[in-house]
Amino acid sequence: MTNWDKEFEEILGTCQSHIRAYVAGFGVPFYHTDDIAQDVFIHYFKEFSKKPDDVEPIRWLKGIAKNYCLRYFDDLKKEKSKNEKLKLIASLMEGAKSDFQEEGETKKVALLKVCLSKLSDKNLQLIKMKYEDGHSYQKLSNIFDLSSQAVGMLLLRIRNSLKKCIKGGALL
């Protein structure tokens, strides 16, 4: 064993529980904590030569762990967004398969168009910017001078009113 291997083993032994706790403290589920901690130590091992001499290993490891945690939540957000889009596409395709009208539109699509026409200009613009243009809540909050939470709540209310309108046969 080289000196570096011994030093790494010592750092691993003294810091691994701290890094696992640090990762868990970020809110990473326990079943992913060990995987992220392992990735942190692998990264540390590979990039050890880049660590400044005046920085303690635990501080360096926490910096790496923070980046891995942020990446984990970013990937989780992307996966959730992708799943929501797939569910929306599946529901649209499901609706498109049944009850065709003369022009080839489904009843639900026709009802949706009627319901959308009854929305206020501001609400219609918000729906189009979110679902057609794909703007984020943050961008929409800047455009409409609302908080991100307010934009999310407004979109939720609009979607619920559209659902009720469609179920009620366009009685918005």
Residue 87 C-beta-side C-alpha neighbours within 13 Å: 6
Quick one: pLDDT at residue 172?
42
Quick one: pLDDT at residue 148?
83
Quick one: pLDDT at residue 61?
93
**Closest by alpha carbon to 15, among 41, 46, 53?**
41
Q: CATH no. for residue 45?
A: 1.10.1740.10
> φ, ψ for residue 29 (rounded to 5)?
-55, 150
For the chain, 172 residues long, give each residue's pLDDT as a single digit of tens: 677 778 888 888 888 899 999 999 988 888 899 999 999 999 988 888 888 888 888 999 999 999 999 999 888 888 888 778 777 777 766 665 554 444 445 677 788 888 888 889 899 898 888 888 888 888 888 888 888 888 888 988 988 888 888 888 744 4
Q: Which domain holds residue 141?
A: 101-167
Same domain, 109 and 145: yes
Same domain, 66 and 109: no
Distance between CA atoms of residues 153 and 157, nearest Å: 6
Quick one: pLDDT at residue 33?
92
Residue 37 C-beta-side C-alpha neighbours within 13 Å: 22
Q: With respect to residue 79, please indicate whether it lies within any of the assigned structural domains.
A: no
Written as one string, the DSSP assignment of 103-119 is: TS-BHHHHHHHHHHHTS
For 87, the enclosing helix (H) or strand (E) is helix 57-97
Tokens (6 digits) for 106: 């489904």
Domain count, the chain: 2
Same domain, 64 and 107: no
Quick one: pLDDT at residue 97?
55
Q: With respect to residue 87, please indicate whether it lies within any of the assigned structural domains.
A: no
Q: With respect to residue 108, please indicate whether it lies within any of the assigned structural domains.
A: yes
Q: With respect to residue 88, please indicate whether it lies within any of the assigned structural domains.
A: no
Quick one: pLDDT at residue 82?
77
Distance between CA atoms of residues 120 and 105, nearest Å: 24
Same domain, 64 and 108: no
pTM for this entry: 0.47
Distance between CA atoms of residues 6 and 139, nearest Å: 50
Q: CATH no. for residue 139?
A: 1.10.10.10
Same domain, 70 and 105: no
Q: With respect to residue 70, please indicate whether it lies within any of the assigned structural domains.
A: yes
Distance between CA atoms of residues 42 and 48, nearest Å: 10
Quick one: pLDDT at residue 112?
83
